[in-house]
Amino acid sequence: MPSTLFSYLSIIATSILAVNALPGLPDKIYGVNLGSWLLIEPWMLPTEWVSMGGERCDWDCSACIANEYNFAQAYPDTVDQKFKEHWQTWLTQDDVNTLKAAGINSVRIPLGYWIVEPLVNRTSEFHAKGGLLELRRGLKQLKDAGIPVVLDHHALPGVASPNQMFAGRCTGDVQFYTPHNYHRALVWTAVMTALSHIHPDFSIVASIQALNEPIMDANQTPGLGEFNKNFAQTIRAVEIALGIPVPGISIGISANLASAANVTVAVSQAATLSSIFNPEVRQALKDAIPMILYAANQLGMNTIFGLDGLRNVLRKRQPLVVNFMNAQWQYNNPSNPADGAIGPTAYDNHLYYSFGGVADANEEAYLKHLCNLNRIEEAAAIGNSPLWFGEWSLATQFAATDDFLRKWADAQKLMYGKGAGYFFWNFKIEEGTDTTRQWSYLEGLKRGYLTQDPSQFHDPHIRLKEEGGLIW
């Protein structure tokens, strides 16, 4: 019956669209984080950090030179060179080759706001310069390897998480959740979106993440819901400016934009679209223009639209995947990032058992908790789908045997792989540290905890019982 056949086919088509909704990313992400590359967390490279001139103060990373900010403040004359040496050696062509050979099909790159250098207030904020050039170098290598990238805004202006190395500065004075710093994060977003579309080496960027791990108590993050909406709008506004079609936005200005001579003109025109974009977003676009030009100059990049040049490239670009931590990351009546979603959007959850509060500290409790994990379903119920697990590791609160770590890796891969996939934290850890064995993907591969092909499991019969509990 043709009509039955037709509806059958359209159901297939719909479900194909549903799994394939993330342009530029594989259907199933088998990914790793490139942590401590352009944003150093000294615990991951304790020996190198001390040899660079850093210090260790393990119980309070604000008490010594144990974060990027304190390092840059202590060594203003040498920080750029010291960090450049680190950037060039922490992620190399060999590493990219190894990841490729290990079947890694995506990476998440944690970044600080300071990679957009004009955003930094140099009288009160201390950070290395030159990271953008190394990002470009790494993106080129990843592009050549065919490994797409999520750019993760991990260390936000004003600091978004108290006393954490990953925030770029260890301090209890958290100032991100304020209008001034939300605005700077939007400007960052506009710049990174523009670069992702107009620089050939950045074309491997498939997604940008708004904010890594906001404070979990939503009472302490006022304005975050509004920021998330503005984040999506900012990405889409830049894309509209560049002439990239975005599902969900139809405007009659494309002819106008198509005649724009260069990026400055195009972005300025988008900044006038008051019927689509709110004043905060339009102001972020205006403030981003000189910074896009600054970055373009730094990268020696074309910002002129010739009909046979950049304009042609842009016409073929797909919109970026907008990425948020899912709403359930927070408690106390959090806002829902799905409320402001426009075009392709993905959600990110992180799960570490090693910090406590998840399951009792023993093998059975870990596996049982994991088997009953329903985070993907819970997120989907409020529209936070597709969801990936952007961070996880093999770390445990107890001394784990090699045998358990093989099971633990299998079980986590199985459960996190039920959604859009996952990114392990981290691709590497300095060799010979206390954390290398359970936090380094490459070490886990060497030790045989992780399978050489990430889509496989040690136990091919791994499956779930209805009532929960794994069968091995």
Where do contacts with ligand NAG occur on this chain (CB under 6 A)? 121, 123-124, 261-262, 264-265, 303-304
Task: For the CB of residue 124, give the shortest distance to ligand NAG in the complex, in Å.
Answer: 4
Task: For the CB of residue 264, give the shortest distance to ligand NAG in the complex, in Å.
Answer: 5
What crossing angle do the helices spanning 79-90 and 131-145 adopt, rounded to 10°?
10
Task: For the CB of residue 119, give the shortest distance to ligand NAG in the complex, in Å.
Answer: 10
Question: What is the C-alpha separation between 365 and 371, in angstroms, rounded?
Answer: 10
Task: For the CB of residue 267, give the shortest distance to ligand NAG in the complex, in Å.
Answer: 10
What 123-127 contacts at long range (C-beta under 8 Å, 24+ apart), as own/partner pairs, is 125/69, 125/157, 126/69, 126/70, 126/72, 126/73, 126/76, 126/79, 127/68, 127/69, 127/72, 127/168
Cα-Cα-Cα-Cα dihedral sign, residues 226, 67, 116, 87: negative
User: Which residues does residue 345 pair with via DSSP β-bridges, in sequence order?
Assistant: 322
Between 40 and 260, whose beta carbon lies closer to ligand NAG? 260
Token pair of 346 as six digits: 């993905």
Token pair of 284 as six digits: 């972020």
Task: For the CB of residue 269, give the shortest distance to ligand NAG in the complex, in Å.
Answer: 11
Token pair of 161 as six digits: 């998480």
Cis status, amide bond into 349, omega within 30 of 0: no
Cis status, amide bond into 157, omega within 30 of 0: no
Between 291 and 379, whose beta carbon lies closer to ligand NAG? 291
Between 123 and 275, whose beta carbon lies closer to ligand NAG? 123
Q: What CA–CA distances, in Å, run from 142 to 96, 200, 372?
A: 7, 12, 36
Token pair of 31 as six digits: 């990914």
Task: For the CB of residue 116, give the shortest distance to ligand NAG in the complex, in Å.
Answer: 15
Determine the residue type at 10: S
Return all residues near 43 (Cβ < 8 A) that are at least 6 apart: 58, 165, 435
Between 16 and 304, whose beta carbon lies closer to ligand NAG? 304
For the beta carbon of residue 103, count every other beta carbon within 10 angstroms: 14
Between 265 and 365, whose beta carbon lies closer to ligand NAG? 265
Q: What CA–CA distances, in Å, run from 395 to 169, 196, 254, 349, 436?
A: 24, 34, 51, 17, 10
Task: For the CB of residue 262, give the shortest distance to ligand NAG in the complex, in Å.
Answer: 4
Between 30 and 305, whose beta carbon lies closer to ligand NAG? 305
Task: For the CB of residue 259, give the shortest distance to ligand NAG in the complex, in Å.
Answer: 11
Between 181 and 426, whose beta carbon lies closer to ligand NAG? 181
Q: What CA–CA distances, in Å, run from 373 to 102, 449, 469?
A: 27, 21, 11
Task: For the CB of residue 263, give the shortest distance to ligand NAG in the complex, in Å.
Answer: 7
Question: What is the C-alpha separation between 441 and 394, in angstroms, rounded?
Answer: 9
Between 184 and 437, whose beta carbon lies closer to ligand NAG? 184
Return all residues near 160 (Cβ < 8 A) that are at least 6 apart: 167, 174, 176, 177, 211, 212, 213, 214, 215
Task: For the CB of residue 319, give the shortest distance to ligand NAG in the complex, in Å.
Answer: 24
Sole residue written with tokens 């615990």: 43
Local structure of 40: helix, strand or coil: coil
Sole residue written with tokens 């426009």: 342
Between 119 and 281, whose beta carbon lies closer to ligand NAG? 119
Between 123 and 333, whose beta carbon lies closer to ligand NAG? 123
Between 198 and 367, whose beta carbon lies closer to ligand NAG? 198
Task: For the CB of residue 387, give the shortest distance to ligand NAG in the complex, in Å.
Answer: 36
What 328-332 contacts at long range (C-beta under 8 Å, 24+ apart), as own/partner pairs, is 328/375, 328/378, 328/379, 328/382, 328/384, 329/213, 329/214, 329/216, 330/214, 330/215, 330/216, 330/217, 330/218, 330/221, 331/216, 331/217, 331/218, 332/217, 332/218, 332/219
Task: For the CB of residue 236, give the shortest distance to ligand NAG in the complex, in Å.
Answer: 22
Between 179 and 248, whose beta carbon lies closer to ligand NAG? 179
